Structure 1
C-alpha cells in the first residue's frame, strides 16, 4: 500500500518551505503595535520615528501611516532599534510600554533596565534597516522673471544626509543665477559637507567644509575647513537646538587675479535651530560667527533660514534667506550680500 503513496517532489518541498519561512517572517514583521490617545490601534511594522512623526507599515494599506508621536500612549515591538532620548542618551533596545503604566516605556541596554516617558524618546530607527532608510534628501528649484529690465533668476537647492548609529553626515548645494538687461550676469553658489560623531549627554564632535563663490563680494572661491565640538541644548520631538564652537582654516581666492590669495585662521561659534511637527510647517536655521584670529578687527557671519510648507506626495514649498557679512572685505566688494528664494521641491525622507 505504501508503494502507491506519491511523495512530493523536491521542488514542491522547497517552495513549501520557502513560503513558510516568508510567511513567518512577514508575521513577525507585522507584529508591532501602537495605541493612540483616541484608542485607535495600529498593527504593523514600525519603521522609524523622527521629528515627532512615527512611520508604520501595515498589511491593510498600500501606503505607510505617519502618526504624531505625541498621540501614542502605548507601543510594543520586538524589533531592535537605535533610539535617542531627550537627555542625549543613545540606546539600542526593543521597545515596550510598561504594563499598567500608560505613557511609560521600558528599554533594556545590556543588563540595565531603563524606564522613561514615551515623550522622552525623540528618535527611533530600526537597526536592520537598509541604506536608503537611513538616507534623507531633497531637491528644490525656483524661477523668477520680471518684465521690467527683463530680470530672470534661477535657483536650485539640494540637501542630502545619512544617519548611522554613532555618526551622521550631511551635504548641501545652493546656486542662484541672475540675468538682467544691460547688466552682467551675477552668480552665487555655496556648498557644504560635514559630519558629526555623537557622544554622551547630547555632545558631539563636528567637522565641516564650506565653499562660497559670490560675485557681489568678488569671491572666486572661499573655502573653509572647520573642526570643533557641539551640544544639543534642546532635543525634543518638536525642536532641536544646538550650539558649537571650534577653529576654521579659511582660504580666499578673488575674481580679480591681481589680488593675492588670502589664508586666515578663524574661531567660530554656531547656532542651529530645527523646528518641526507644527502641522505642515517646519523651520531650519543656522547662524555662524567667525572672528578672525590672524586679521585684527575682522568678523564674518553666515545666516541661513528656511521655512518649509509640506504638500502631498512629499512635495514642498520653501522660502529661504541667505545672508553673508564681512567687516573687512577687499576693496570694491560689498560688506553684505543676501538672497531671498522661493522654491518648489520634493524630498526623500
Structure 2
C-alpha cells in the first residue's frame, strides 16, 4: 500500500505536466504553462507560478510543444483546429483531427486561440473613458468607447460603440454617438462574407438618427502576425432623420427624412508588430444609387499603448463627410479623443 501511494505521488506531477504546454525561447529559456492565445504577434501563456499571464513576442519563440487544442488562422486565410508541435524554429506542425498533420512556417501563423467550449473563452472586450475640462466658458467634454467580440472557427461577431458629449456656457450641448454591429463569415483564400448594421447621431450635422444596413464581401490583402490589410465592397440601405436647424434666413427648417440605396467600398489596416503600441485605421466611402450624386465617407483611426494588467491608453480620430448635409456649410464633422481603458 505504501509503495502504491509513493508511485501515485510520483506520477501525478508527470500527468499534470503532460497536460501543459511548453515554450522554448531563442535564448534557451523554457516556460511551462497553458497557452491562451497568440494575436497581433504576441503569445500569452498562463503559469502556476505567476499572478498574471506572460506575454511574449511570437518571433522570440524557438520551439513549442502543446497539449492544448487551438483554433489557428494562417496568412492565406485558412482556419485549422488542432495541436501545435515544433522542434525546428523554421517549421511548425499543426496536428489536426480533420486534416492530419500540416507543416507550416511559423511566420504564416497569424492567430491562435485555445479551443474551449465555454462562452467566455471565445469572448474579447474592452472599454475606455476620457474627460477634459477648460475653465474658459466651463468647457467640458466626456468621451467613451466599448468593444465586444465573439470568435469561432468559421465566423466572428463584434459590436463597437463610441460616444462624445461636449458642453460649455451659452452654447447648446454637442453630442456624437455611433455604433457598428458586424458579422463576418470566413471563406477560403482570405475572402469573407460580411454584414453590418451602423447607427449615427450627430448634432453638429443635425443628424437625429442615421442607420445603415450593409451586405458585402471582403478580401485580406495582407494577413500576417504583424499586420492586417483588407478591402470590402457591397450594397447598403440608408435611413435618415434630421434635427431642426435654421435656413439661410434664420427661419426654422427640418430636412425631410431620407431612404436610399448605396454602393460602398471600405478598407481597414491593423499594425501591431510595434511592441506595446498598436495602430488601427479604417475608411469607408459610399455613393447613392437611387438618384442624385451624393457621396459620403467615414474615417476612423486609433493608436493604443498597452499598460500592465490589461490596461491601456488610447488616442482616436473620427471623421464624417457628406456632400449633401442637412445643414449648409457642415459637410465635415470630426473629433479627437483620448481615453484610459481595460480589455479582456
Determine whether 1:168 maps to 2:156: yes
TM-score by length of 2: 0.90
Contact 2:217–2:233 at 8 Å: present in 1 too? Answer: yes
**Cα 1:303–1:22 shift into 2, 3 Å:** farther
Query: What is the alpha-carbon distance in structure 2 between the residues aligned to residue 77 and residue 107 of structure 1?
Result: 10
Most deviating of 339-348 and 110-119 = 110-119
Instruction: Report what 1:272 is aligned to.
Output: 268
Alignment of 1:29 onto 2:15: no
Tell me, in whole angstroms, the C-alpha distance in 1 between the residues paired with 2:200 and 2:14: 54
Query: Which of structure 1's runs of 4+ aligned residues deviate more than 3 A?
Result: 19-28, 108-113
Unaligned runs of 5+ in 2: 2-7, 245-252
Any idea what the Cα deviations from partners look like across 1:50-90, whole Å, max 9, x if unmatched?
Answer: 11111112223232211111111111113321101111111
Provide the C-alpha distance between the structure 2 equivalents of 1:226 and 1:311, rounded to a whole number of angstroms. Answer: 36
1:110-149 mapped onto 2 (5 Å cutoff) = 110=98, 112-128=100-116, 130-149=118-137
1:149 Cα shift?
1.7
1:216 aligns with 2:204: yes
* Alignment check: 8 A CA contact 1:51 1:122 kept: yes
Partner of 2:281, secondary structure, is strand
How far the C-alpha of 1:346 sits from its partner, in A, is 1.1
RMSD: 2.3
Note closer, same or farther for the CA distance 1:192–1:111 as it changes in structure 2 (3 Å cut).
closer
The 10-residue stretch of structure 1 (127-136 or 75-84) with the greater mean CA deviation from structure 2 = 127-136
Compute the displacement of 1:22 (Å): 8.8
**1:302 matched to 2:298:** yes
Alpha carbons of 1:74 and 1:335: their partners in 2 closer, same or farther (altered >3 Å)? Answer: same
Q: Larger radius of gyration, structure 1 or 2?
A: 1
- Given candidates 106, 120, 139, the residue that maps to 1:151 is 139
Aligned to 2:248: none
Secondary structure, counterpart of 2:183 in structure 1: strand
1:131 shift after superposition: 1.9
Aligned pairs, number: 330
